[in-house]
Amino acid sequence: MATSSGYDYEVFLSFNGSDTRAGFTDFLYISLKDAGIRTFKDDEELGVGEEFAPELLQAINQSKISIPIFSKGYASSVWCLKELVQMVECQKTGRQKIIPIFYDVAPSEVRHQTEGYAQAFLAHENKKRHDEKTIQGWKDALSAVGAINGWDLHSKKENRREGEFAKELTHKVFSELKKGYLAVSDYLVRVDNHVDAIMEKIGAETSETRIIGIHGMGGIGKTTIAKIIYNKLKKNFEGFTQKTQKKKKKISMVVASFLTSVKPQNSRAFTACSISSSLTSSTRNAWI
């Protein structure tokens, strides 16, 4: 059943199981899942007895991003080719983004169906299980996706470091999905100066714990400014929390990086105790 947004999944992984299921695909799936990204991987999501093709095509339709993992045996799999055709159809409607990974084949081999991919299509044609129009559709899909500027693991050869690559791609997907970002109107008036002033107080690439308070009368845009700051800073953290509170004598908004269980990408981890002492001793008067 689809969610209210029309998406059951955020990412669909398309791969030839015999090539990458127990290795790279598993690394990537776990990395995406650990980041809170709802990911479809056929051996995890399809139950025993469910029809294979309809379930896969539905999962593609209900995903925001599709990631085909092009391996040597990808074009030999009819299911992989059918999935790819469906991805391209979804991309054409603007509902989906395709991020290809060229695992152990060059992008040109995918785009032009040469070498192993040429042999795979010769085998499909010799079996005569699929008509010419269907096979041409597979080739067109490979040509279209092979032309996308994707992630080329093939060229890295012995310096692949697949686990690290999976983490890097996960960060990219997380950013594409804008997970956790707060909705802000596109039609804002006179907030840039306030945002710039707060960002200057926070400082660039600081490892210090800081709290910035935004206070004033109701309806002047405090929450909107806080959301913009939140969205600007969120990408630098594995997790991020905002908190609002009203005081008895004045309305205030506190946007704080309460970093319990949150690790900045380029600095040490913070504990609740260190945050508490920092807020008490060094940030008490940082109000705007």
Pairing of strands 251-256, 245-246: antiparallel
How far apart (Å, rounded) are the C-alpha atoms in residues 69 and 87? 13
Beta-bridge mates of residue 212: 255
How far apart (Å, rounded) are the C-alpha atoms in residues 116 and 109? 8
Q: Residue 35's closest CA among 44, 46, 27? A: 27
For the chain, how many residues are written? 288
Q: What angle do CA 167, 13, 73 make, to 5 degrees?
A: 105
Residue 106, helix vs strand vs coil: coil
Is residue 205 annotated as part of the catalytic site, yes or no?
no
Catalytic hit among 83, 162, 168, 176: 83
How far apart (Å, rounded) are the C-alpha atoms in residues 259 and 264? 8
User: What tokens were used for 128?
Assistant: 């005569």
Catalytic (active-site) positions: 83
